[in-house]
C-alpha cells in the first residue's frame, strides 16, 4: 500500500508490567526495529519507568512517551507531572486525553487544549485521544462528540504544528473489550477527523496529520485496520505488553 504518511505504531502500557519486564520488552522491540525509516514505533510507559526505558531506547528510532501531563510547569499539583519533567527523564512524546483519563479520572474536555499546547511548547509530540462511548454511539452522537473533543483538544494548535501532532480515534467501547470497530465505523470516524482538521487548519494540515485507530487491536486484525482509508497507525493497549503480540503488530504488512 502506498502511504502518504509514515505508519505510526504505538503501545500504551498503562499501569502494567514491572521494571524488569518493561526493560526486557523494550530491549526486544529495539532489537527487532530497523532504521525507523518506514515506520514510527513508540511506547507510552508508566512514568516511573520512563528514565530506564528511554535509556535503553536511546540511539534507536524508538519513541518513548508519558501517559499524561499537567499544563503548568511546576506548583502545588500533587501527583502530577510537567512537560519539562517528562523531557528530563527522556520522554519525547505524551498521550493526552486517553479515555481512561477522561472517564475514570473525570478529566474534562477543556483541559485537553491546554495539555496539547503545553506538550508542543515542551517539545513533546502529543497524541490526542478522542472517542465516543457506547451510549453516545447508540444515540447517534458520535460525530458531535468527536467534533467537540477536536474543538477543545486542538483549540491552541497552529496549522504548521500538525506534523508534530497525532490524533488517536479510540471508541471507548472498543478499548480493552475485544470488540473492534467495523471497517466502516473506523473509515467514517477517520474521514470526519481529517475533514474537520482540513476545515479548521487547512488542506496541508489535513494531509500531514496522522490519525491512529485504537481499540482491541491484535496481530489478527491489524492488517485489515491498517488497510482502512485514513488510518495511519494504531494505538495498542493489551497487545503491546508482550513481544509475541506487539511485534507482529509492528510488522503488520507481513500478516496473512
Ligand atoms: C488503549 O488503551 O489505548 C487501547 C486501545 O487498549 P486495548 O488495545 O487494550 O483495547
Q: Which run of H or E residues covers position 129?
A: strand 125-130
User: What is the sign, positive or negative, of the torsion defined by CA atoms of 109, 86, 84, 200?
Assistant: negative
Q: For residue 91, which of 117, 126, 116 has the smallest C-alpha distance?
A: 126
183 located within any domain: yes
Range of the domain at 20: 8-254
The yes-or-no answer on residue 184 being catalytic is no
170 lies in some domain: yes
Considering 70, 100, 170, 190, which one is annotated as catalytic? 170
The per-residue pLDDT for range 203-243, each reduced to its tens digit, is 999 999 999 999 999 999 999 999 998 999 999 999 999 99
Residue 212, number of CB atoms within 10 A of its CB:
24
| Residue minimizing CA distance to atom 6 of ligand 1 | 237
11 ligand 1 Cβ < 6 A: no
**Residue 51 domain-assigned?**
yes
* The residue count for the chain: 256
Nearest CA to ligand 1 atom 1: 237
With a cut of 60, say whether residue 256 has pLDDT above it. no
Cα–Cα distance between 142 and 152 in angstroms, integer?
16
In a domain, 22, yes or no: yes
Residue 3 lies in a domain: no
Is residue 1 in some structural domain?
A: no
Give distance in angstroms: CA of 167 to centre of ligand 1: 14
d(CA 85, CA 81): 6
Tell which one of 95, 102, 170 to mutate to probe ligand 1, the residue whose CB is within 8 A of the most ligand atoms.
170
pTM: 0.97
Separation between Cα atoms, residue 129 and residue 44, nearest integer Å:
13
Annotated catalytic residue, options 70, 98, 100, 190: 98
221 occurs within a structural domain? yes
Looking at residue 174, which CATH number applies to its domain? 3.20.20.70
User: Number of structural domains, the chain?
Assistant: 1
Backbone angles phi, psi at 212, to 5 degrees: -100, 155
Q: Is the pLDDT of residue 255 over 80?
A: no
Rounded to whole angstroms, the Cα distance separating 13 from 3 reads 27
* Substitution site in 15, 177, 186, 217 for ligand 1 pocket (most atoms within 8 Å of beta carbon): 217
Determine which residue's CA is closest to atom 4 belonging to ligand 1.
237
Is 143 domain-assigned? yes
Res. 1: pLDDT tops 70: no
Mutate to test the pocket of ligand 1, among 212, 213, 236 (most ligand atoms within 8 A of CB): 236
Res 34 pLDDT > 90: no
- 62-71 pLDDT, tens per residue? 999 999 999 9
Q: How many angstroms separate the CA atoms of 18 and 230, rounded?
A: 35
Amino acid at each position: 500500500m502506498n502511504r502518504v504518511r509514515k505508519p505510526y505504531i504505538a503501545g500504551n502500557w498503562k499501569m502494567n508490567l514491572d521494571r524488569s519486564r518493561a526493560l526486557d520488552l523494550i530491549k526486544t522491540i529495539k532489537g527487532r526495529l530497523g532504521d525507523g525509516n518506514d515506520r514510527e514505533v513508540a511506547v507510552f510507559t508508566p512514568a516511573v519507568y520512563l528514565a530506564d526505558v528511554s535509556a535503553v531506547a536511546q540511539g534507536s528510532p524508538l519513541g518513548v512517551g508519558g501517559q499524561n501531563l499537567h499544563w503548568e510547569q511546576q506548583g502545588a499539583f500533587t501527583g502530577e507531572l510537567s512537560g519539562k519533567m517528562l523531557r528530563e527523564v527522556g520522554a519525547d512524546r505524551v498521550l493526552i486525553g486517553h479515555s481512561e483519563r477522561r472517564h475514570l479520572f473525570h478529566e474534562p474536555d477543556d483541559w485537553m487544549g491546554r495539555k496539547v499546547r503545553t506538550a508542543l511548547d515542551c517539545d513533546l509530540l502529543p497524541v490526542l485521544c478522542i472517542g465516543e462511548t457506547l451510549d453516545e454511539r447508540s444515540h447517534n452522537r458520535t460525530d458531535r462528540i468527536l467534533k467537540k473533543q477536536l474543538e477543545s483538544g486542538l483549540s491552541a494548535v497552529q496549522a504548521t504544528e500538525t506534523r508534530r501532532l497525532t490524533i488517536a480515534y479510540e471508541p471507548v467501547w472498543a478499548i480493552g473489550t475485544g470488540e473492534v470497530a467495523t471497517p466502516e465505523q473506523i473509515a467514517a470516524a477517520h474521514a470526519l477527523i481529517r475533514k474537520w482538521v482540513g476545515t479548521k487548519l487547512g488542506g496541508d494540515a489535513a494531509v500531514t496529520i496522522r490519525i491512529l485507530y485504537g481499540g482491541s487491536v491484535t496481530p489478527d486484525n491489524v492488517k485489515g485496520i491498517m488497510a482502512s482509508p485514513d488510518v495511519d497507525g494504531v494505538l495498542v493497549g493489551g497487545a503491546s505488553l508482550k513481544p509475541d503480540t506487539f511485534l507482529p503488530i509492528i510488522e503488520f504488512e507481513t500478516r496473512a
